[in-house]
């Protein structure tokens, strides 16, 4: 009876040794017994798709604000060093032309007026344990015939604040999310 091996404990110990050995090899760039893979030739890289991006037409106008993806506009620096994005072309007499990336929600509503609709949602960063940085949630304002404004940040539990990080110009905006 005294010679029995506790198989769950052995399995755990073997798993731990394999994990540590693998992590050690990865931190040194491999085991050293195999040559490093040669980089792929540049010509083999797939070509970037041409044509309009999702939710936009060929002239850069936004046709559907809900389908526009981050990175489809131009990146700009705003107030207090905030970086953001401006997508699409402003409508005639747009209230959005006076706005700057980095403005607070209060500053925006003072200049552009109250939105037609608004709402908040969490981002993937909200699910990172012990992450207390910004951009855990986003706040969105829609303006009929103008477009959408996206805010990031705000305090913990405050879903109506933050700073403007994305202006989406859309003259055909319905005003509702």
- Residue 30's pLDDT is 46
What φ, ψ does residue 160 adopt, rounded to 5°? -120, 15
pLDDT digits (tens, 9 = 90+) for 118-135: 988 777 776 788 877 666
Name which residue leads in pLDDT, 53 or 113. 113
Residues 140 and 117: their CA atoms lie apart, in Å, by 8
**Rounded distance between C-alpha atoms, residue 147 and residue 14, angstroms:** 58
3-state secondary structure 126-168: HHCCCCCCCCCEEEEEEECCCEEEEEECCCCCCCCCCEEEEEE
Average pLDDT of every residue of the chain = 74
pLDDT of the residue at 49: 55
User: What local confidence, expressed as pLDDT, does residue 148 receive?
Assistant: 92
CA distance 133 to 155: 10
pLDDT, one tens digit per residue, over 29-73 is 444 444 455 555 455 445 455 667 777 777 778 888 878 888 888
């Amino acid at each position: 009876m005294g010679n029995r091996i506790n198989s769950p404990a052995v399995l755990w110990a073997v798993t731990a040794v394999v994990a540590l050995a693998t992590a050690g090899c990865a931190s040194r760039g491999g085991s050293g017994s195999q040559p490093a893979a040669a980089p792929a030739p540049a010509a083999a890289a797939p070509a970037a798709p041409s044509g309009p991006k999702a939710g936009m037409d060929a002239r850069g106008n936004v046709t559907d604000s809900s389908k526009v993806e981050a990175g489809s506009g131009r990146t700009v620096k705003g107030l207090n060093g905030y970086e953001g994005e401006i997508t699409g072309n402003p409508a005639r007499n747009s209230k959005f032309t006076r706005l700057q990336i980095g403005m607070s929600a209060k500053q925006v509503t003072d200049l552009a007026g109250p939105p037609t609709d608004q709402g908040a949602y969490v981002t993937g960063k909200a699910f990172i344990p012990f992450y207390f940085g910004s951009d855990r949630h986003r706040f969105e304002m829609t303006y009929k015939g103008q477009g959408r404004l996206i805010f990031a940040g705000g305090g913990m539990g405050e879903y109506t604040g933050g700073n403007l990080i994305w202006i989406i110009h859309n003259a055909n905006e319905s005003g509702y999310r």
